[in-house]
Amino acid sequence: MATFKEFRNNVKPNWCPGCGDFSIQAAIQRAAANVGLEPEQLAVVSGIGCSGRISGYINAYGFHGIHGRALPIAQGLKLANRDLTVIASGGDGDGFAIGMGHTVHAIRRNVNITYIVMDNQIYGLTKGQTSPRSAVGFKTKSTPEGAIESTLSPLEIALASGATFVAQSFSSDLKQLTALIEAGIQHEGFSLINVFSPCVTFNKINTYDWFKEHIINLDTIENYDPSNRVMAMTKLMETGGMITGLIYQDTARRSYENLVPGFREEPLAHQNLQITPEQFDQL
């Protein structure tokens, strides 16, 4: 059985020292090992941004896609080869701005993949502009007078869109994050895990200390029930979305691929797709 070290490759990440994305990479590698995967059983698909580099840093199949389009690629991969464990990953700009249409429809489609969003509330790769996750009043080069638009609440949108697995974590909490990624991989259907991942270079407001001060771990809330969608929505609204842990899980709904009538029982990867020259001539 592979250890988490076997999910490492020899590519050195070029994230800034201290970037939260390092811990997310480590959590994915640990979770993959903990659920018993081998590197050839995992595919990591990413979008564009600092976070998008992650698909090249893990010893598994990797696909570095285009901006906001990790999810269509990841869903296609899963439908073509249901034996693969597919993780899609990207930043808040990637998934909640240009890619938001794909995100909402992937949530309601419920293909069995895990989507990890590295949420630093800013665009890091393009050197610090306001993202849909930035707070009102947030000053950057693109909003020198402070952001005017309201902050997007992606987990509330996910619940309203029929999500079957919604979780949130903090890159500093490797134990919780690893456990949530394991649970997301094992969940039947689309699992969304939003991870607060500080950008130490461009976001001087939402720092490690800021998150530690504002985050409420659901483990500390008595009688919280992650199978209760109304409770999940209420808690997100009450806290401004600053809760971490398993927020909501619906274990009853089957995944998309298990509900499509007539969908091939045998994954494409198991089928003999080669045709002979004689068969080709008859096409």
Which parts of this chain interact with ligand SF4 (CB under 6 A)? 15-16, 19, 21, 50, 120, 124-125, 199-202
Instruction: Look up residue 40 and give its amino acid.
Output: E
**In the block, which residue shows the tokens 């771990």?**
217
- Spatial distance between the Cα atoms of 213 and 157, rounded to a whole number of angstroms: 25
Long-range Cβ contacts of 8-13 (<8 Å, 24+ apart): 8/58, 8/59, 9/57, 9/58, 9/59, 11/56, 11/57, 13/53, 13/57
Nearest distance in Å: CB 99, ligand SF4: 17
Nearest distance in Å: CB 123, ligand SF4: 9
- Spatial distance between the Cα atoms of 89 and 84, rounded to a whole number of angstroms: 16
Nearest distance in Å: CB 140, ligand SF4: 12
Nearest distance in Å: CB 212, ligand SF4: 17
Kindly tell me which of 21 and 182 has the beta carbon lying closer to ligand SF4: 21
Kindly tell me which of 206 and 255 has the beta carbon lying closer to ligand SF4: 206
Nearest distance in Å: CB 128, ligand SF4: 8
Nearest distance in Å: CB 126, ligand SF4: 9
Nearest distance in Å: CB 15, ligand SF4: 4
> Which secondary structure element, helix H or strand E, spans residue 249, and what is its range?
strand 243-249
Nearest distance in Å: CB 195, ligand SF4: 12
Kindly tell me which of 81 and 201 has the beta carbon lying closer to ligand SF4: 201
3-state secondary structure of 224: coil
Kindly tell me which of 15 and 190 has the beta carbon lying closer to ligand SF4: 15
Query: How many CB atoms lie under 10 A from the CB of residue 76?
Result: 14
Q: What is the DSSP string of 152-218?
A: P-HHHHHHHTT-SEEEEEETT-HHHHHHHHHHHHHSSS-EEEEEE---TTT-SSS-HHHHHHH-EEG
Kindly tell me which of 189 and 198 has the beta carbon lying closer to ligand SF4: 198
Kindly tell me which of 75 and 203 has the beta carbon lying closer to ligand SF4: 203
> Which secondary structure element, helix H or strand E, spans residue 26, and what is its range?
helix 21-34
Kindly tell me which of 21 and 94 has the beta carbon lying closer to ligand SF4: 21
User: What are the φ/ψ torsions at residue 80 (nearest 5 degrees)?
Assistant: -80, -30
3-state secondary structure of 140: coil
How far lies 248's CA from each of 44, 83, 180, 189, 265, in Å?
24, 25, 12, 13, 30
Kindly tell me which of 70 and 247 has the beta carbon lying closer to ligand SF4: 70
